[in-house]
Structure 1
Amino acid sequence: MSIIIALALIAASYLIGSIPFAVVVSRAMGLADPRSFGSRNPGATNVLRTGNKTAAALTLLGDAAKGWLAVFLANRLSEQAQLPMAVVALCAVAVFLGHVFPLFLGFKGGKGVATALGVLVGINVWLALATAATWAIVAYAMRYSSLSSICAAIFAPLFYVLGGNVAWPLEPSLMIAITAISIILLFRHKANISRLLQGKESRIGGAADKHTPPQKTKPIRRERHK
């Protein structure tokens, strides 16, 4: 029975992660599909290219919330069913993989930064704040969103180990899960890493991306000649 509950939690976490908030929010607000312009990445950064900050914020919030929700539910239900912490760790990885390889988008999803942050919030709020602060400091100093995400991904597992049994309990299974998520996140940024090394990566607030979202044009009214 415990195995069935564990598998159900892992599957549910993956499905929660597969909810494409970038697409859902864009459609609800009448914006272009984020997979049709810019990086073609269904994430908050690409939604921001539409110029709609509200849509980008809602996407960011939704992507982070699903990461938190999956870990929160896994924690609560695992305690009730007396399941090992390894199940929570697997759910954390599953919700992240759901975002990166979503069932509802043909397994072509986003890079997972916001969802990874949501997972960290579910594990420990202070760990999430430390990682978010790393992102913010690098972003402020270097003006590269991708570099900020890369640095945050590298430091997240280090923070977890350094703060283990001091600021939060150190669980080996969670340490492995956080490390796995960080490695996948770095892999998803391989194109960004290449552009950073070549000096071609766009900065925060820099020139607009070459690929701009399609604009809805109003039909031209033709005047009738009397």
Structure 2
Amino acid sequence: MTTTTATLLSIACGYLCGSVPFGYLAGRLKGIDIRQHGSGNIGATNAIRVLGKGIGIPVFMLDVFKGWLPVWLAAGWIAHTGTDVEVVTIGKVLTGFAAVLGHMFTFWLGFKGGKGIATTCGVLAGISLAGMIGGWIGFLTFLFAFRYVSLGSLAAAVGVPSAMAIQMYREGRWDFVMLGFGIVVMILAFVRHRSNIQRLIAGTESKAFTKKKPQS
């Protein structure tokens, strides 16, 4: 297998893995079309909101896994061709990006999908530990400070390339392929959260950790 063939197969695998709509499938198992409830999103946050933590948390873990798996496979496939480490890194980044796009634009659901935060977390676990840590710090800090999952997700999106840049600056070695991935994913996260941003500005976005009032 040539390096080009291995890279193309890895990218295809990334998209196919990322496109598996676990949130939608979990809802169907419960007889619910998750797109018709809550925020209408097929991601883990809406799965937790609509289906409960017992189902939503496994959906989150599966969304993370489908980002990590193709990157891990790509590392083995491309490295097996005997190519340079830099080429392997590029292949992993392209594969990870394909997985994120697969989640956001899954062909199973008419090229509509989730917002890609959990899947990006899985990709980062395979390509950039610093980026993953930066994302989690941003997410948890803003989530617990303001109690908005969407705001935490946007903070995570900013934290990923920021942490990557800090690490590269400290090491004196700039990897613009990796940093470019972080920046593009950040931009996509903001684009996919357009409606959330509008609700945050209007003050109508739902908060986390808020118990629903019992109906009278």
> What residue number does 1:50 align with?
50
Q: Larger % of helix: which?
A: 2
**Does the alignment pair 1:74 with 2:84?**
no
Aligned residue number for residue 101 of structure 2: 97
1:18 aligns with 2:23: no
CA offsets, 1:26-67, max 9 Å, x none?
334x24121121211111111122352111001100001111
**2:205 partner SS:** coil
Higher CA-based Rg: 1
Aligned length: 207
1:116 Cα deviation after fit? 1.0
Q: Normalising by structure 2, what TM-score?
A: 0.88
In the alignment, is the contact (CA less than 8 A) between 1:74 and 1:91 conserved in 2? yes
- Structure number with the bigger relative contact order (C-alpha 8 A, sep ≥ 6) is 1
Corresponding letter in the other structure for 2:179: M
Rounded to whole Å, the distance in 2 between the matches of 1:129 and 1:193 is: 24
Question: What is the identity, as a one-letter code, of the residue corresponding to 1:77?
Answer: W
> Quick one: distance in 2 between partners of 1:91 and 1:9?
6
Letter in 1 for 2:140: A
The match for 1:147 is: 151
Residue matched to 1:119: 123
Long gaps (5+) in structure 2: none
Change (3 A) 1:6 1:31: same
CA drift at 1:167:
7.2
Identity, % of aligned positions? 33
Q: Tell me, which stretches of 5 or more residues in structure 1 are unaligned?
A: 209-226
For structure 1, which segment, 74-83 or 60-69, has the greater mean C-alpha deviation from structure 2 after superposition? Answer: 74-83
Q: What does 1:1-226 align with in structure 2 at a 5 Å threshold? A: 1-28=2-29, 30-81=30-81, 82=83, 84=87, 85-164=89-168, 166=170, 170-206=174-210
- Normalised by the length of structure 1, the TM-score is 0.85
